[in-house]
Structure 1
Amino acid sequence: MMRSMSYCNVGILCLVVFLVVVSETQVGEAAVTCNPMELAPCAAAIMSSNSPTAVCCGKLKEQSPCLCQYVKNPNLQKLVNSPNAKKVADTCGSPFPTC
């Protein structure tokens, strides 16, 4: 009887740990959806010397956890890793991460 109760407790503990891990993973994924198109409001500032808009800065801050992923993408690398992009990030108060 004692052994079956121990197995039951271990099983319940494993289930609780699994549910906590799954729920935290979903929260993390829900917080940021990496989509480079979200940075479209920043295109004018990145492509020229224009100052970034408030919308651009907001989107840049939202997407900042994704920037290293974008830098690794050959199609986005030159744009995201450009001196102007880093200048826009600094202007918005969202320093470019070290990847």
Structure 2
Amino acid sequence: MRRFLSIVILLSVLPLASWNHAGAQQTDYAKYGRMATAIVIEDYPSEELKDYEYKGRTPAGDDQVADYFKFTVSENGKTSYILVRVTHSLKNEKLVGLTVSETVK
């Protein structure tokens, strides 16, 4: 129950995490941040999600960009960093690809 409550709180706070950024930028990557969060929660269900950070955007081809999100998760005292790369089209706002990589501390 505690884990479920933590996830609900995290998902409700994520859109506010970038409150100090420009409005256009917030709406720009917020949708993909929610996707990345859902993937991490699904791929690492037994691990506690401790931190979330938007790492930025890079060009990825014709009218496409890649947004990067870094998550910190822990299980049994072991900390792991999950980097999610979400590639999407700026033209039609459609998801093109999603890559997840893990680094153990």
Q: Which has the higher contact order (CA 8 A, sep 6+)?
A: 1
Q: One fold, TM greater than 0.5? A: no
The interval holding the TM-score normalised by the smaller chain is under 0.3
Larger helix share, 1 or 2: 1
Which is higher, the Rg of structure 1 or of structure 2? 1
Larger strand share, 1 or 2: 2
**Scaled by the length of structure 1, what TM-score is found?**
0.26
**Scaled by the length of structure 2, what TM-score is found?**
0.25
